[in-house]
C-alpha cells in the first residue's frame, strides 16, 4: 500500500483530564418530594471545589409551587413559613447556572437532583448545560464494602469517612458533607490507578484491577485513524479492530464501557497493542480484513476464514452440470458466489434445477449415451443425455440458458419460482412455499454477488477520489478489485501530481480469474461500497466496467423488500 507517515501529537482530551484540575460543583437539593418537577424545589446548596480547595458556595431557599408536606418539614426542618418570602425557581435558576458554569456536577444519588434541575429548566425556559455528572452514591457502591458500612446513604458515608460537616437534610450542609465523601472516594480510586475524570466517570468494580492496570497499553498509541492489534505474551494476535482514534478506542477496553465478556477475557490475556496508522477509513477497513484473514485472531468472530467460501459453477464438459466448488478457475464462464456456506450454495443449485432440466449425476458422460437413465428422466426433470435422448447441441441450449441465468439475467428463475411459491401458498402448503423461497433467495443473492464483483475483478485499474474531511482529496487506487493504495492531497493543491505518484507506487496486482477478485471478497465489497458513496468521482478507469442490465441485484432487492413486507401477514408474493 502507498502510505505517508502521519505525525500525531496527543491532546489533553486523549490523555484524560487529571482529577486535580477538574472543577466540581457538589450540590444538594431539598424538595417537596414526589417526581422531578422544577416547582417542587425548596432549597439549593452547592460547593465549588477544585484540587481540594473550596472556590465558592451557593445557597438559597426556594418558594415551591405547592405546600411542603408535614413529614418533609419534619425531615428537612424547612417549613412553609420559611419559604413564604423566598424567591421562585425562575428567579433563582439563572444565578445557579451561572455559578455552575462549565464545572462537573457531583451529587449523592445524582439522577434525583439532576432530574429536578432539568425539570426546572424546562419550566422556566433556561438551557440545561448538559454537564458531566459524577454520582457519589454509585461510586460508593463500587468502593465501599458491606463490612465497612451497612448501606451507602450519605449519613452513613459521612460517619465512615469522618466528614467535617454532618449531613442533616439541609442542602448546603449535605453538599459540604458530599465534598468530603467525594474526596475520600477519589482517594480510594486513586489507589486503584484512576487519575482522570474520564476514568472516574466510567469506574466500575466490574472492571477488574488487572484489567484497569492494563490501560497503560494504550499510553503510547497514536490518536489517529487506523487498526489496532491486541497480542498475547507470545506475540500472537488476539483481536484486530479499527477506529478513527486508535488510542481512545483501545482505552475504552479497560473501562466499564466495554461490556462484552469475551473482550474482558481478551484484555486479560493481552500484553501488547500494535497500532497501524492509516490515512483513510477505507484503508483501515482493508487492513483490518487482511490482518484478520492472515492471523485468524481467536476473539474476532467474523472474516476469519474467507477461504471457506464456496462457489456454484456450470462445469465445462460436453453435458455441463452444476457443481459446488471451493475456488474459481479459468475453465468456465458460469460461476456465482461466493456463498458463505456449502448449504447456501446447494440451495441456489436446487433453485436452478427447479427451473431447468440440467443433469444432476456426477459421472462423466460420453457422447455415445451408453449409460443408464435415473428416475429424474421418468419425472421429466432431465432430458437423459446419458442414454442418448439428448444430443450435445440440444443439451447445449439448456446449458446456455443456465449460464445466462447465472451471469446475466435472473428473471426467468425469479418468475418461475415466484409462481410456484404462490401456487403452493394458495394450496396451504406454506412450508413447501418457504422452502422454495429460501432456494430462490440463495440463488439471487449468490448471483448478485458474483455479478457485482465480476466487473471490478476484470478492471485493471480504477482511480477514484472524494473530498477529504479537512479539504483536499482522498484518492484511492483499485486494481482488479483489490485496494492497491491511497493518498491524501493537501487543501488547495493540484491533485494530479499526487494521483500520478500514487499510481506509480501503488501495489502491482496480477489479474485474477473473474468473477473472483484479486482480493478477499469482503475487501472488494468494501471498496465497491466506498465507490458508491456520494461525492466519489472516478478519475480514470483502465478497462471496461459494466454490469448486466437484468442482473440478479435488482431481483434480490425486490425479493427482500417483498419478503420483509409479507413477513408479518403471510401476504401473497407478487411477481
Number of residues assigned to the chain: 575
- Burial label, 238 (beta-carbon count in 10 A; 0-12, 13-18, 19+): buried
d(CA 344, CA 69): 69
Residue 336: closest CA among 395, 393, 409: 409
Q: Which of 2, 169, 173, 183 is catalytic?
A: 169
Neighbours of 228 (CB within 10 A): 25
Active site residue 169: yes
Torsion 352-356-361-367 (CA) sign: negative
Cell (9 digits) for 278: 492509516
Start-to-end C-alpha separation, the chain: 47
Strand segments, DSSP code E, in 281-360 are 310-314, 322-325, 335-339
Q: Are 124 and 96 in contact (CB under 8 A)?
A: no
Non-local CB neighbours of 254 within 8 Å, separated by 6+ positions: 207, 211, 212, 214, 215, 217, 218, 267
Q: Are 89 and 38 in contact (CB under 8 A)?
A: yes
For 485, the 3-state DSSP assignment is strand
Q: Are 456 and 440 in contact (CB under 8 A)?
A: no
Non-local CB neighbours of 217 within 8 Å, separated by 6+ positions: 250, 254, 270, 271, 272, 273
Non-local CB neighbours of 146 within 8 Å, separated by 6+ positions: none
d(CA 231, CA 207): 20
d(CA 402, CA 377): 19
d(CA 421, CA 426): 9
d(CA 326, CA 343): 13
- Burial label, 260 (beta-carbon count in 10 A; 0-12, 13-18, 19+): exposed
Q: What is the DSSP string of 93-155?
A: HHHHHHHHTTPEEEETTHHHHHHHHHHHHHHHTPPP----EEEHHHHHHHHS-TTT-S---HH
Q: How far is the CA of 297 from the CAs of 19, 289, 497, in angstroms?
A: 37, 11, 39
Cell (9 digits) for 294: 492472515
Torsion 515-519-521-524 (CA) sign: negative
| Residue bearing cell 445557597 | 59
Residue positions annotated with a catalytic role: 169
Amino acid at each position: 500500500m502507498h502510505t505517508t507517515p502521519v505525525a500525531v501529537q496527543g491532546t489533553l482530551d486523549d490523555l484524560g483530564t487529571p482529577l486535580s484540575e477538574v472543577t466540581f460543583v457538589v450540590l444538594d437539593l431539598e424538595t417537596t418530594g414526589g417526581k422531578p418537577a422544577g416547582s417542587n424545589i425548596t432549597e439549593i446548596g452547592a460547593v465549588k471545589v477544585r484540587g481540594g480547595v473550596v472556590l465558592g458556595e451557593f445557597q438559597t431557599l426556594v418558594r415551591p409551587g405547592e405546600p411542603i408536606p408535614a413529614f418533609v418539614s419534619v425531615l428537612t426542618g424547612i417549613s412553609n413559613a420559611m419559604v413564604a418570602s423566598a424567591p421562585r425557581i425562575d428567579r433563582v435558576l439563572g444565578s445557579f447556572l451561572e455559578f455552575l458554569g462549565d464545572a462537573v456536577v457531583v451529587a449523592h444519588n445524582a439522577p434525583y437532583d439532576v432530574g429536578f434541575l432539568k425539570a426546572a429548566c424546562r419550566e422556566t425556559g433556561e438551557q440545561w448545560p448538559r454537564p458531566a455528572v459524577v454520582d457519589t452514591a454509585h461510586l460508593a457502591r463500587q468502593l465501599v464494602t458491606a463490612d465497612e458500612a451497612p448501606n451507602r446513604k450519605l449519613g452513613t458515608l459521612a460517619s465512615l469517612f469522618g466528614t467535617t460537616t454532618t449531613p442533616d437534610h439541609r442542602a448546603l450542609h449535605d453538599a459540604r458533607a458530599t465534598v468530603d465523601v467525594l474526596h475520600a472516594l477519589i482517594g480510594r480510586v486513586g489507589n486503584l490507578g484512576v487519575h482522570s475524570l474520564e476514568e472516574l466517570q466510567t469506574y466500575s468494580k466490574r472492571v477488574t484491577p488487572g484489567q484497569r492496570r492494563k490501560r497503560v497499553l494504550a499510553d503510547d498509541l497514536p490518536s489517529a485513524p487506523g487498526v489496532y492489534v491486541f497480542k498475547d505474551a507470545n506475540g500472537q494476535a488476539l483481536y484486530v479492530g479499527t477506529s478513527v482514534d486508535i488510542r481512545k478506542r483501545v482505552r475504552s477496553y479497560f473501562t466499564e464501557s466495554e461490556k462484552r465478556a469475551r473482550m474482558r477475557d481478551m484484555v486479560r490475556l493481552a500484553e501488547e497493542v500494535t497500532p497501524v496508522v492509516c490515512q483513510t477509513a477505507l484503508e483501515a477497513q482493508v487492513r483490518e480484513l487482511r490482518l484478520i484473514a492472515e492471523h485468524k485472531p481467536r476473539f474476532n468472530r467474523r472474516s476469519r476464514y474467507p477461504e471457506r467460501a464456496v462457489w456454484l459453477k456450470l462445469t465445462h464438459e460436453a453435458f455441463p452440470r452444476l457443481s459446488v466448488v471451493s475456488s474459481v478457475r479459468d475453465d468456465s464462464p458460469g460461476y456465482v458466489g461466493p456463498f458463505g456456506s456449502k448449504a447456501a450454495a446447494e440451495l441456489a443449485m436446487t433453485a436452478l434445477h427447479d427451473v431447468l432440466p440440467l443433469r444432476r449425476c456426477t459421472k462423466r458422460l460420453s457422447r455415445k449415451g451408453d449409460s443408464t437413465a435415473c428416475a429424474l428422466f421418468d419425472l421429466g426433470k432431465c432430458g437423459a443425455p446419458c442414454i442418448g435422448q439428448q444430443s450435445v447441441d440440444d443439451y447445449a441450449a439448456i446449458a446456455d440458458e443456465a449460464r445466462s441465468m447465472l451471469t446475466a439475467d435472473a428473471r426467468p428463475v425469479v418468475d418461475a419460482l415466484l409462481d410456484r411459491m404462490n401456487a403452493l401458498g394458495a394450496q396451504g402448503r406454506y412450508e413447501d412455499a418457504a422452502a422454495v423461497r429460501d432456494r430462490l433467495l440463495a440463488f439471487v443473492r449468490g448471483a448478485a454477488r458474483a455479478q457485482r464483483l465480476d466487473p471490478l475483478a476484470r478492471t485493471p485499474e480504477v482511480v477514484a477520489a472524494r473530498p477529504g474531511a479537512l479539504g483536499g482529496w482522498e484518492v484511492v487506487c483499485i486494481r482488479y478489485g483489490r485496494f492497491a493504495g491511497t493518498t491524501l492531497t493537501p487543501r488547495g493543491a493540484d491533485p494530479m501530481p499526487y494521483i500520478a505518484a500514487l499510481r506509480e507506487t501503488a501495489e502491482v496486482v496480477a489479474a485474477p480469474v473473474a468473477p473472483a477478485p484479486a482480493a478477499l471478497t469482503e475487501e472488494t465489497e468494501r471498496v465497491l461500497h466506498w465507490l458508491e458513496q456520494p461525492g466519489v468521482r472516478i478519475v480514470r478507469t483502465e478497462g471496461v466496467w459494466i454490469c448486466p442490465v437484468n442482473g440478479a441485484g435488482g431481483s434480490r432487492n425486490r425479493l427482500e423488500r417483498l419478503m420483509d413486507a409479507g413477513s408479518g401477514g403471510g401476504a401473497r408474493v407478487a411477481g
